[in-house]
Amino acid sequence: MKAILPTFLAMITIRRLPAVLFLLAAATALAQPVAPAANSGPVLHGRIDGNYYVSPGMIYRIEIPVSPKLGGQVSDTDDVVTFIDDFNVHLSVACFPQDATQRWELATRGTKDYCVYFFSNYVLPDFQQMFPGTSVESARYAPDLMDGALLIYTLLPGGSMFADKAAVLPNAAKAPIAKRGNLVFVYLGHIYVLSSELAERVTEGSKYHKTTAEEDEILRQRLIDFAGKIGFNTPADDKSAKGTAPAGRR
């Protein structure tokens, strides 16, 4: 993988999609239990089919990575699904169809620069709006992952979904700084952004001693494993569909 933080920072400008991409990440109060009783909880935009979440429009399905025994819950919008439990899991999948402009950006920029462009212009500003002071710690491009994927590690002051479970620190005057790994890739006319919080950074308090490199590797592996749970729907009439899924995909 290649480090690309200088290129990443140089491309940041402010542009927005019609809706806030990751507003759902802070809206876990509306989450639905993984195995809800009939007619209980808010209605999902997608649906739960056994151990799988099926996205609106059946663009993809993903094995649910949380258990109801551990307080696992699912919440979603038309574009984003979030999985969270009471201990250390906070994972989300955002999936957006590429319009003509986005397809042109991909064609002219190439996969690496397009993923940088998309995250820096459409995702990072939302993180920064929700959690002022949010920054990119590092970014790396993996050409062999998902046919080309961007890994971005972000620091979000006050942005932990596990702040209420944080170990009590004697001199803690500020909210903990959360760290998230993000995986950006393109497949079949959609751009995906997978996100995972490193909960242990907050919940373990003074017992936490991971280095930055160790944190990055933990998040990288979790995101790769998470991506491996996704099954992509390949429309029979989609002329852009490839004959086989990229390595690591179902």
Q: Which domains does the chain have, with CATH numbers?
A: 2-232 (3.40.1000.10)
User: Under a CB-based contact definition with an 8 Å cutoff, are residues 155 and 135 in contact?
Assistant: yes
Summarize pLDDT for 216-249 with one digit per residue, the tens. 999 999 999 999 999 998 765 444 433 334 444 4
Summarize pLDDT for 24-61 with one digit per residue, the tens. 444 443 456 666 544 455 689 999 999 999 999 999 99
User: Under a CB-based contact definition with an 8 Å cutoff, are residues 240 and 189 in contact?
Assistant: yes
3-state secondary structure at position 229: coil
3-state secondary structure at position 104: helix
* Mean pLDDT confidence for 142-155: 97
Summarize pLDDT for 168-212 with one digit per residue, the tens. 544 455 678 999 999 999 999 999 999 999 999 999 888 999 999
- Candidates 82, 106, 111, 79; CA nearest to 95 is 79
